[in-house]
Structure 1
Amino acid sequence: MFGGIRKRVVSMWFPRLASDRVLRARPVDGPFALTLNTKNANRLYCLNAKAERQGLYRGMSYSDARAFCPELQSRPADPAADMRFLQALQRWALRYCPWVGIDGTDGLNLDITGSAHLFSGEAPMLADMRQRLMRAGVSVRLGLADSRGAAWALAHHGEGVCEPGRPLETLGALPVTALRLEPELVTGLQRLGLRTISDLETTDRAPLARRFGLTLLRRLDQALGRQNEEISPLSDPPHYGVRMTMPEPIGLVDDVMGVTARLLDRLCGKLQENGAGARILCLTLSRVDQEARTVELRLARPLRDAQRILPLFARGVADVDAGYGIDRIRLEAVEVLPLPPEQVSHVASVCKDQLDDLMTRIGTRIGLENIQRFQPVDSHVPERAFSVVPAAFSEPRGGWTSFRPRPIRMFPPEPIMGQGNRPPERFRWRRMSFTTARATGPERIAAEWWLEDDNWRSGVRDYWKVNTRQGHRLWLFHTPQSPGWFVQGEFA
């Protein structure tokens, strides 16, 4: 009882949550299932009603399912997306009561104590829940009782409403699996002939506790309302936004930067508490004429150090037209990423911080995505041995692993005149004449057969490092299958 009002709990069970989520976006007419690789086997994870009517079930091998039902359509499961969908349903359920918690991976618990009268009673409320979910394409089973355990039992075993104060009359005929017990415990009870909740209730508690432990009795008491079980709703995600309203309008850059410094201290304190760092910050300056100016700061690395972030705002703030004055400033971390504490030396930390701040300053002018770095790729083909990625969104990897040196400058192969399988003694390249002084090689490189590349259709290449008497150090290769010589790089 709560203030003279008996506690009432609704349990929502979504038996096909994962498949309903996928089919809402891309409907399928026929048997459908999601598959998940578990224990080195591809098994059915969630099925629609038509697949279940074909005799398929969760945990069934996908190959066996296709043998039973050749017309089965499938897609890979995404448990993370399913949890996000369940969290969205949790937020939607707040329309019925302010206290909604997630139950496992496919259910919700709603404490509707004192809320049912807003929907003209419990029955109309349940009907409204069912109707709205069915219209959204989500199958649901509902249970309503005085306790969370009883509501769960009703939702998972036939649905229904338990009359206030009389749980045993409604739950007595349900199997012991309705008490949320482990399968081994259920098997042990069934071997003793204890198959229903009534059988447990009429059995002496002491022998049950000695043989099966206190978990069995706790679940029984929770279902019958003798032991309270709280509903724990998910807390709202932290909001990383702070603001300040000035008593008098300001317009000087130093004044705006001073207010920004105070807001940054508060914002970075929130980030520190939650182990996060800001990647994108948005500073909104509201003027007295109801106009607003925005300064966006995209950081090369997630940060929560106010002293490092503040100078990076200086250029953007200086370009803002304050008009007749600014009376309100708001600072928000638009993109936040986890930033766990690190154990680093003071020397390495300073060098890395200076590089990150430099990339941030340059990125505010040309864009962070335009500051790029070369990353090594595990490939012996020269053109594929590296990739170009944005420096701000990647970490430097180890050096290139190569048994032979590679030129600093590489370009598409350029043909030259030459015969035989050794570098020519004299050749012309880019309108210049060269004489070979020393040639080192060959290094034979074959194409990667699993990748398609028209430049390597000629087969293997024999690479040579050629030092010329003119001072150029070139990288040449010869193609034995279709004889020809090419220049592809130049050493420093």
Structure 2
Amino acid sequence: MNSDAFETRRYLALWFPFLPADRIRIVRRNGSSLSVDTPFALVENVKGAIRLAAIDPAARKQGLVPGLTLADARARVPELAVHDHDPAADARWLDRLSEGCGRYTPMATALPPDALLLDITGCTHLFGGELTLVADAVKRLKKLGMATRFAFAPTSEAAYALARWGKGGADDEEEAVRRLPVAALALDAEKELGLRRAGLKTIGMVAERLRPGIAARFGEETVTALERLLGHSRRPLGAFPKKAAIHAERRFPEPVARTEYALEILSQLLREAGEELYRRGKGGRCFEARFFRADGLAKKLSVELGRPTRDPEEAMRLFRERIDTLDDPIDPGFGFDAIRLSVAIQEDLPPSQIGIEGDTDRESRIAAMIDRLSVRLGRNGVVRCHPVDTHIPEACQRLVPAIEKPKEASWPRPAPGEPPRRPLQLFDPPEPIRVTAEVPDGPPWRFIWRGRDHRVTLFEGPERIASEWWRSPRDPLGETRLTRDYYRVEDSEGRRYWLFRHGLYAREKRNMRWYMHGLFA
């Protein structure tokens, strides 16, 4: 394998051949458990037929394979136990396993539907070498109940292919890759069948052929997959989580079984991270804590702040608030054997000046309140209005999470002494009204709104707002976008309203409509 460009990288792939069935057995441990000797399968509806989607080792020993109809499977194995297949739950389970493997490297990611990929470059010496690391991982996964196959390689594609299709017995990784079946190229079924019919049954057989001939007969994607598998080229891996610049970690010789003690350790890690943030002149806006259980699973908690902070007590309060809102509390199981804290988002945090009047921290108190409410109610539970660059009044703002960092935008401010150009109360959508005017395109002098007749004594306008033709061809009123003429009017009782005429007379439409859009104080 040509590994000159990749000699500093090492990947570990973990493949779970029976992940759906293993997940169901693990979930059922506290309830109606299944015997390991009982054939078990997961089923799904495929074009009106109930078929096997996944099986366990006992079912495979009985000759069952995915794709069989349930009726055929039951005829062969009457004692077959079945459960509905849930790919989304399998994906969430795979993500949990990926979090658990974060104990070995921060560069661990899921490869749906049934594998994990770990970039273990520079991490193996912490565990006594590659074999010691993978032995610990497989031991934990086996204790959890997951059947696992693994492989190492200098490229991610080769590591996964060796774990998925490798048979062992080769002296080196390059020879092992060349012995793999052409299924390891992960091509579509038609191309794979074409390779087999051409007598090319292994990666080595395909590699011996000239690349232009392979591309002409089986497509350029076949050559690309072959080059990546052999290590002659690589695909950028964007699935790995971004490594935090600041993190702190504790590993324990004996698992920690008490949640309160684990939270005390988290508080210590927050203090360490705060000191490092202070040295760098930074503050954290997102803190992530991972609690690694002895059985191989991990629990991830994160808190986000509206403003950067390096105060460990403030961050710890938010973590406790988050824990109080969890549907499933932090369960240590057989205990936590490692806890890691990462500062996922950092920003500059210069020193602040304390004012003499004592009210300079008002913004900080408001930000702290928003942080606490957002933790309890969720990120989208506390919102604020953000300006939008448009002239259409009902579309000039949108709701964004209050905890989100505001973008550069501002509301237009009236000049000193000038009355407000927009009402405090806006109707969305605008309410239709009946208007009487001296001429069709003139100002209103009487209107009926919500069954009441109003006589106009003062008016100001029109303020003309043209349609935004580059956006949707229809406006919120359900009509083709038309020009609006707005009037600020006052009735005989002193109440002030914001009305508009929808459309220009004769130029855009004959029968124009009027709408009430807002009320001034």
Q: Partner amino acid for 2:163?
A: A
2:65 maps to 57
Q: How many Å apart are 1:155 and its aligned residue?
A: 0.8
2:467 maps to none
Q: Partner amino acid for 1:212?
A: F
2:384 maps to 305
Conserved 8 A contact 1:16-1:48: yes
Q: Distance in 1 between matches of 2:213 and 2:228?
A: 19
- Structure 1's 132 and 262: CA in aligned 2 closer, same or farther, altered over 3 A? closer
3-state SS of 1:101 partner:
strand
**1:84 matches 2:84:** no
Q: How does 1:25-64 map to 2 (within 5 A)?
A: 25-26=27-28, 27-29=33-35, 30-64=38-72
3-state SS of 1:113 partner:
coil
Q: Partner amino acid for 1:34?
A: L
- Structure 1's 250 and 229: CA in aligned 2 closer, same or farther, altered over 3 A? farther
- Structure 1's 282 and 149: CA in aligned 2 closer, same or farther, altered over 3 A? closer
Q: Distance in 2 between matches of 1:162 and 1:349?
A: 71
Q: How does 1:358-437 map to 2 (within 5 A)?
A: none
**1:131 matches 2:131:** no
- Structure 1's 41 and 302: CA in aligned 2 closer, same or farther, altered over 3 A? farther
Conserved 8 A contact 1:240-1:332: no
- TM-score, scaled relative to structure 1: 0.52
Conserved 8 A contact 1:221-1:227: yes
Conserved 8 A contact 2:43-2:84: yes
Conserved 8 A contact 2:52-2:69: yes
1:135-169 alpha-carbon deviations (Å, 9 max, x no partner): 11011111111111211221112355987xx6432
1:4-36 alpha-carbon deviations (Å, 9 max, x no partner): 953211111111111111101223111111112
Which of 86, 109, 122 pairs up with 1:101? 109
2:226 maps to 220
- Structure 1's 72 and 160: CA in aligned 2 closer, same or farther, altered over 3 A? same
Conserved 8 A contact 2:6-2:154: no
- RMSD across aligned C-alpha pairs, in angstroms? 3.8
**1:259 matches 2:261:** no
**1:17 matches 2:15:** no
1:284-303 alpha-carbon deviations (Å, 9 max, x no partner): xxxxxxxxxxxx6799x945
Q: Distance in 2 between matches of 1:110 and 1:168?
A: 20
2:157 maps to 149
Q: Distance in 2 between matches of 1:126 and 1:220?
A: 27
2:407 maps to none
Q: How many Å apart are 1:207 and its aligned residue?
A: 1.0
Q: Partner amino acid for 2:10?
A: R
- Structure 1's 256 and 248: CA in aligned 2 closer, same or farther, altered over 3 A? closer
- Structure 1's 54 and 264: CA in aligned 2 closer, same or farther, altered over 3 A? same
Q: Partner amino acid for 2:225?
A: R
Q: Distance in 1 between matches of 2:4 and 2:367?
A: 45
Conserved 8 A contact 2:41-2:54: yes
Conserved 8 A contact 2:44-2:84: yes
Q: How does 1:209-288 map to 2 (within 5 A)?
A: 209-231=215-237, 232-234=239-241, 239-242=303-306, 258-262=363-367, 281=373
Q: Partner amino acid for 2:111?
A: D
Q: How many Å apart are 1:210 and its aligned residue?
A: 0.8
Structure 1 gaps, min length 5: 268-279, 284-295, 308-330, 334-344, 352-492
- Structure 1's 4 and 211: CA in aligned 2 closer, same or farther, altered over 3 A? closer
3-state SS of 2:43 partner:
strand
3-state SS of 2:52 partner:
strand
Q: How many Å apart are 1:38 and its aligned residue?
A: 2.4
Task: Select between 107-116 and 133-142 the one with higher mean Cα deviation.
Answer: 107-116
Q: Partner amino acid for 1:259?
A: S
Q: How many Å apart are 1:282 and its aligned residue?
A: 5.4
3-state SS of 2:428 partner:
helix
- Structure 1's 181 and 257: CA in aligned 2 closer, same or farther, altered over 3 A? same
- Name which one, 1 or 2, has greater alpha-carbon Rg: 1
Q: Distance in 2 between matches of 1:97 and 1:282?
A: 31
Structure 2 gaps, min length 5: 243-287, 289-300, 312-351, 387-400, 404-424, 432-521
Conserved 8 A contact 1:168-1:198: no
Q: Partner amino acid for 1:304?
A: V
1:486 maps to none
Using the aligned pairs only, state the percent identity: 33
Conserved 8 A contact 2:166-2:176: no
2:328 maps to none
Q: Distance in 1 between matches of 2:156 and 2:170?
A: 11
1:240-269 alpha-carbon deviations (Å, 9 max, x no partner): 3346679879999x888643444578x7xx
Q: Distance in 1 between matches of 2:43 and 2:58?
A: 16
2:181 maps to 175
- Structure 1's 168 and 298: CA in aligned 2 closer, same or farther, altered over 3 A? closer
1:34-85 alpha-carbon deviations (Å, 9 max, x no partner): 1122222221122111111111111211121111111111111221111111
- Structure 1's 168 and 250: CA in aligned 2 closer, same or farther, altered over 3 A? same
Q: Distance in 2 between matches of 1:197 and 1:250?
A: 76
Q: Distance in 2 between matches of 1:255 and 1:347?
A: 37
